[in-house]
Amino acid sequence: MIMLSRHKGWALFALVLIGIAVAAAVLLRPRPVLVDLGRAETGSLAVTVEEEAHTRIRNLFTVSAPVSGRVLRTPVRVGDTVAEGETVLATILPTPSGLVDERTRSELLAALTAADAATDLARHEIGGREAEVRFAESELERKQSLSGRNVLSREALEEAETRVRTAQHALEAAQAELEVRRSRRTEIAARLEEPSGSEQPDRKVHVKAPVSGEVLRILQESESIVPAGAPLVEVGDLGDLEVVADLLSTDAVQVEVGAPARIVDWGGAPLDARVAEVEPIAFPKISALGIEELRARVVLDIKAAPGTWQRLGHGYRVTAQILLWEADSVLKVPVASLFREGEDWAVFVVQAGRAAVRKVAIGRMNEDEAQVLEGLEPGDRVVLYPSDRVTDGARLAERAGG
């Protein structure tokens, strides 16, 4: 009986030791690393560039004094609506001709010759603009015919319509410029035709609006003596606004004319827009961090109905979002899952509860997602924001709520 009791005692002691060993192994075993998980999936991906921009009137006119003299206090105010050729912007009492000496007369003759040449140039410009309008309208008719037969895309038709409107605006601007040149030429000729020594203190020169629109800025508000050519008033049509964004040249080279865009952060709902022009010359600009950058100007046409942005004015700050690339069915992963493995991109893939390093080939990328060209399959789970605790082979557990 004594021997049997001893054997039972040793067996119980052995069981206790085994239990302690198992408990120690469990307690000392590394705990799984808590991580957030994402998933590789197929879907649409868009890459855009976002930049601060500003609005501007396409054709801004600075009205200047056609003759030297005393300009009276301006009868208009900023924001007033003006009519082309009707609204008086300023009234000038010209300097009497008796004060015009031979030297000034010679200068006026030269100015008259230059005004004639400028008038002829403006006429030729109108001829060229009319030809552009006719060509753009013929292209639009042709594309409308093709669109009716479902041969042409809607984007191509909209681009043709934009070209017609742009050509028409350019023609109107050239016609207004011709009127300005003619007015300038008439004033110079009138000064030369007056008999030398005659004084006509009651004669007034009324400077009228070259285009219909609104008064944007008054450069000479109070009564004063001004020389010929002194700027007086700025006018323009606020219904003919465009948006200008200065993009980094590395972004500008990816922008296509006609690409869709959006105008945001202007004080209202996002506005649809389209790239009208990418200027071919870059210019240096100092960033907020004091770094000199090369930037190129991109011009956008607002495509939204005018009633939705009628409170926008000239020089207002906005943000432009321009589409660089878009695809409907691509394999993508969250950007937060990517990290560098030497010269390659890599992710941690979850396999049987453990992390496995997987090198991937990445294509296009935006702020949130990246296109996967090689290395992953749809449905693969990947670790987001991997810390230094996540290593190849490490045990993982998904964080609650992930």
Residue 350 burial (CB < 10 Å; 0-12/13-18/19+)?
A: middle
CA-to-CA separations, 16 to 3, 61, 380, in angstroms, rounded = 20, 98, 44
Beta bridge partners of 69: 94, 226
The reported pLDDT for the residue numbered 197 is 42
In the numeric block, the tokens 């790239």 are attached to 275
| Distance from the Cα of residue 332 to its chain's centroid | 27
Do residues 223 and 35 lie in contact, with contact meaning Cβ atoms separated by under 8 Å?
Answer: no
Tokens of 39: 């998933």
From first to last of the 402 residues of the chain, give the pLDDT tens digit.
555 455 566 666 666 666 665 555 445 556 788 999 999 999 999 999 999 999 999 989 999 998 888 899 999 999 899 998 899 999 998 876 544 556 677 777 788 788 888 888 888 888 888 888 888 888 878 777 777 667 667 777 778 788 888 888 888 888 888 888 888 888 777 777 654 444 445 578 899 998 899 999 999 988 988 888 899 999 999 989 999 999 999 999 999 999 999 999 999 999 999 999 999 999 999 888 888 999 999 999 999 998 899 899 999 999 999 999 999 999 999 999 999 988 999 999 999 889 999 999 999 999 999 999 999 999 999 999 998 889 998 998 888 765
| Strand pairing report for 231-236 and 224-226 | unpaired
Do residues 59 and 169 lie in contact, with contact meaning Cβ atoms separated by under 8 Å?
Answer: yes
CA-to-CA separations, 18 to 5, 15, 22, 23, 124, in angstroms, rounded = 20, 5, 6, 9, 104
Phi, psi of 288 (to 5 degrees): -65, -20
The reported pLDDT for the residue numbered 19 is 63
The reported pLDDT for the residue numbered 45 is 95
Nearest alpha carbon to residue 97 among 68, 70, 66, 64: 68
CA-to-CA separations, 367 to 88, 247, 381, in angstroms, rounded = 53, 17, 20
3-class DSSP assignment, residue 266:
coil
The residues, any chain, with a CB within 8 Å of residue 390's CB and separated by 6 or more, are 33, 35, 348, 355, 383, 396
Q: Distance between CA atoms of 153 and 161, rounded to whole angstroms?
A: 13
Q: Distance between CA atoms of 74 and 91, rounded to whole angstroms?
A: 7
Q: Distance between CA atoms of 32 and 24, rounded to whole angstroms?
A: 17
Q: Distance between CA atoms of 276 and 259, rounded to whole angstroms?
A: 8
Q: Distance between CA atoms of 369 and 292, rounded to whole angstroms?
A: 30
Q: Distance between CA atoms of 298 and 40, rounded to whole angstroms?
A: 35
